[in-house]
Amino acid sequence: MSTSRRPSPEPGIKLSIGALSRATGVPVETLRTWEARYGFPVPERKPSGHRVYSLSSIPRLRRIAEALSRGHRAGNVVAATDEALADLLNATASPAPDARVVAIETAGSQTDILKAVEAFDAGTLTRTLFQDWARLGPLDFLGTRVAPAIRDVGDAWKAGRIEIRHEHFFSEKVGDFLRSLRLPFEERATGPLVVCSSLPGEAHSLGLQMAALVLAIAGCRILFVGTEVPVAQLAALAKDLNTRTVAISVSRASQGAAMTNQISSLRRSLPRRVGLIVGGDGAPQSRPGIEVIQSLAALDTWGRRLATAA
């Protein structure tokens, strides 16, 4: 089997080999052996000379560990291409896990996240998210970890169990984490440009961050311009950059006639060639020229279709 091309350095979170070992369950000495013998994982050097490893190494290492647990030899899987590794795993797929076990694991993770927020424990929050990302994969991670955590924190704030400072801490830390996940995919993306934003009155950014991550993984180039950007500014940006699509996020808190009118105004202000997609719990119904995407899975399908058609 051919070996994977050595990747260029990636921005975002960097891990020591010990952290990499804890996140993947692969012993440190085994990681060092694989690095020397097969060229993976690929380290980067800090100015101090210490080796660090990219966050994007984790999903592949988890797949390698899974393949080894199914009886494959290290020489056949560590140096394999991603496609060959996927073929090996598909050929020896295990039965789906018991739904009760999944539910227990999900509940435990959500409890850990809320406790970390209550204690302003950034280390535990990041570590929990990181481990879930490595184990679940993008769509399951966002759908079964991040989205429920957003709801849990919001509910806890409304019920008075936590304060606004806790909610802000959570939003900033999770936002930073999602950005760090997206950046390596952005570096490699070659698909059409998608501008991701929200309109005035929509200050929540985590749904937008989740959507941007899904689109970047699908191969779309992302321009993330943040929340509450006026209609005229978004329309001018789309024209100036020859954008293929503008993606807008609408939460339940900002839904209503005023937001719907802004979305319609944006559609009228955009050139016909520029698509407009809207997502989130508060998204209005689809109408001519405006495509409403109701789930992350549907967004992933849409993004991959856009990227491959370019």
Q: Does domain 189-309 have CATH number 3.40.50.280?
A: yes
pLDDT tens per residue, range 112-141: 899 999 999 998 898 888 888 877 778 889
Q: Please state the domain extents for the chain.
A: 14-91, 99-180, 189-309
Q: What is the mean pLDDT of residues 64-80?
A: 79
pLDDT at res. 186 = 86
Same CATH topology for 14-91 and 189-309: the answer is: no
| Confidence tier at 108 by pLDDT (50, 70, 90) | low
State the CB neighbour count (10 A cutoff) for residue 111. Answer: 12
- pLDDT of 64 > 50? The answer is yes
Handedness of CA 300, 302, 308, 310 (dihedral sign): negative
CA-derived radius of gyration, the chain: 21
Q: Is the pLDDT reported for residue 55 higher than 50?
A: yes
Q: Is the pLDDT of residue 200 over 70?
A: yes
Domain 99-180 falls under CATH 1.10.1240.10 = yes
Q: Would the CA dihedral through 69, 70, 72, 77 be positive or negative?
A: negative
How far is 12 from 192, CA to CA, in rounded Å? 23
CA nearest neighbour of 59 among 18, 5, 23, 83: 23
Q: What is the CATH number of domain 14-91?
A: 1.10.1660.10
How far apart (Å, rounded) are the C-alpha atoms in residues 180 and 291? 28
Contacts of 96 (CB under 8 A, 6+ apart): none
H helix runs in the chain, sequence order: 17-24, 28-38, 57-69, 74-77, 82-91, 99-118, 122-136, 138-141, 147-158, 164-188, 206-218, 231-240, 257-269, 296-309
Using pLDDT thresholds of 50, 70 and 90, give the confidence band for residue 69. low
Rounded to a whole number of angstroms, the distance between the first and last alpha carbons of the chain is 30
For residue 11, what pLDDT is reported?
52
Neighbour tally for 171: CB within 10 Å: 18
